[in-house]
Structure 1
Amino acid sequence: MNHFRSSMISDGAFLLLILACFISIVFTAGNPNLYIQNIIFLNVAFLIAVITYFTTVTTGLILNVLFIFGYGTFTLYQTVVVGGLIGTQNYFWLIMTPLFTLATWLLTLGNKQLQQENEKLLKANESLATVDARTSLKNTLSFQSDAAVFMALSVRYKIPLTLLVINVKYWDEIRRMIGEEQLMEAIHDLSKMNQISIRTNDSLYLLNKENPMWGMLLFTDLPGAMIVMERLRNQVDERNRNEFAGKYRVELILKMGVCEYNSELIANPLEFIAQAKKQLEFDV
């Protein structure tokens, strides 16, 4: 309902602005004797409307009051000093100039409401999305849901469960050395490499996209996780020699931490991540 109202305000204001422009142009062209004078007033009306668009309606109202005062003074001068008559010309711009301001303000109001609603929808979509659009990897929201299930299975069937977290050393420095597009490519390439390195019954998650951190839920114990870590390091070393160094002009070095699930020490998935991240400090 709010979206419909905002659309109606924006569309109505746009049509009103077009109509005001059409009437003003016809009126200006209809009296060749006052053509220059009408052009000046039309430009003033447009100027006030533009200022209103980029500022606030209060500024527009103040400018309209100043215009009416100035135009009234000009009309009084024309009537008393020059001896002119008060006609349609004298009232037209007193009506049209505030009308331009009103239409512009309504258009701005409608557009701002639509932008705010769009931002809310984007934020809601991001908060509900469980898969990263670029890498097609599950995110933290999905991790919390999956990890809760895997942790329960680990306790029930006595299956070892390990979380391996991975990030890139010196990422802040790398960010300053290569462009945004290459940063996204690096994230994508590393995500694909990590995906290949796990078994079909293990799960890979992109836990942090800004300062990339991946998480792997592995149905294995610590020695098994160490094997996965060694496999990942070897793959990165090989790609640094053959691909990454030339593609990104820097070497990408992984930093990894691993934590085996213990139901007595780890109460929830977020605590699982926190414990694994602590182990990153020991990988120097």
Structure 2
Amino acid sequence: MNVDDRGRASLQADIGLVVFITLVSLTAILVGISANLIWNLIYLGITLVVMLITYFYGLIPGMLSNLLFIFCQVVSTAYINVSLHQTIPLKMAFWLILPGLLSGALAVMTSKQQLLQLDNHKLRNQLTERGAFDVQTNLRTLVAFSTDARVYIENHRRFHLPVTMLVFRIRYYQELQRMLSEEQNRMLLRVISDTLTTVAADNDLSYFLDPEKPTWGMILHSDEGQAQQIVDQIKQRFCQELQSHEQLKQLDTSLTAGMASWNTSTMDSPYDLMKQSIRETEYDV
């Protein structure tokens, strides 16, 4: 799916949602006007069943269910009028039309949303296959860092924007790992990754650089003073997140951080920037 198709599908899903909400509101108004509680409850229950069929099985089964619903309404109305000599108010006629419209709007909305979800899943798989995206942490990897960092460095060269890289590691991770279960270890890695994502600004990119010795990175257009504020925020947020997780709050751990700014005279590649940031973590005591 290209960008135009993706945008068209998103627009159609939004239109389907708006139409569906409008029809639901209209149904509520007509139910109040008709003032026939028992029949409205029966028809409303059947309409919900029809919409569930549409949602799980698609438009065609939903429309067939609507035709069956209409047929049942006609037969029941004829029986009541002829055999029981009673009349069903004409106001109830909206139940012949609205369930079909609701099913159609729901089918359009769900089909386009499913199409977008499938496309996102394919894109995620492509990123994973190319090694640019880590499935466990939902962060970019070292492969993506080398490409992204060159863009940041080029911005530094052309627009004189500062480029600073932050690196985070878990203090005493090797000793801590022996005490953690596999589930706790995965949860700990995810908490740190989510913390970086939450604190990072829109133009700050976060990475999971090394799964063997868990290492996170963040590259940003900020000077060292601003970067230090982000480091403090991440460390503080990480401690708060640990306390909110029942399985992790007993851990006595923290993050070590290293920081380095791009220096044209001493650095030749993005890896020089990363290595310098990693070295700086050794001095965070």
TM-score (norm 2): 0.53
- The 3 A distance-change label for structure 1 pair 199 and 210 is same
Asked if 2 retains the 8 angstrom alpha-carbon contact of 1:244 and 1:252, the reply is no
Question: Hey, what does 1:263 align to over in structure 2?
Answer: 264
Deviations 1:186-223 (A, max 9, x none): 10111001110110011000001122111000110000
Superposition CA RMSD, Å:
1.8
Gaps of 5+ in 2: 1-126
User: May I ask how many residue pairs the two structures share in their alignment?
Assistant: 159
Give per-residue Cα distances to partners, 1:128-153, cap 9 Å, x unaligned.
Answer: 32000122110000000110111111
Q: Which has the larger radius of gyration?
A: 1
- Runs of 4+ displaced beyond 2 Å: 125-128, 236-240, 242-249
Q: 1:97-129 deviations in whole A, cap 9, x for unaligned?
A: xxxxxxxxxxxxxxxxxxxxxxxxxxxx97732
**Structure 1 SS opposite 2:168:** strand
**Residue 201 in 1 paired to residue 203 in 2?**
yes
Q: How far apart are the structure 1 equivalents of 2:128 and 2:199? A: 28
d(CA) in 2 for partners of 1:236, 1:201 = 21
Query: Which of the numbers 210, 213, 229 marks the counterpart of 2:212?
Result: 210
Give 1:236 deviation, angstroms.
2.2
Partner of 2:227: 225
- TM-score, normalising length from structure 1? 0.53
Amino acid corresponding to residue 195 of structure 2 in structure 1: M
TM superposition shift of 1:184: 1.1
| Change in 2 beyond 3 A, CA 1:232/1:155 | same
Describe the shift of the 1:273–1:260 C-alpha distance in structure 2 as closer, same or farther (beyond 3 A).
same
Distance 1:174 1:248, change over 3 A: farther
- Secondary structure in 2 matching 1:153: helix
Q: CA deviation at 1:239?
A: 2.9
Q: Percent identity?
A: 25
- 2:135 corresponding residue in structure 1: 133
Distance 2:235 2:131 in 1: 31
Deviation at 1:246, TM superposition (A): 4.5
Q: 2:153 corresponds to which residue?
A: 151
- The one-letter code sitting in structure 2 at the alignment partner of 1:265 is T
- Structure 1 residues not aligned, in runs of 5+: 1-124
Mapped contact 2:184–2:247 kept (Cα < 8 A): no
Q: Is the 8 A contact 1:134 1:188 kept in 2?
A: yes
Paired with 2:245 and 2:173, the residues of 1 have a C-alpha distance of: 14
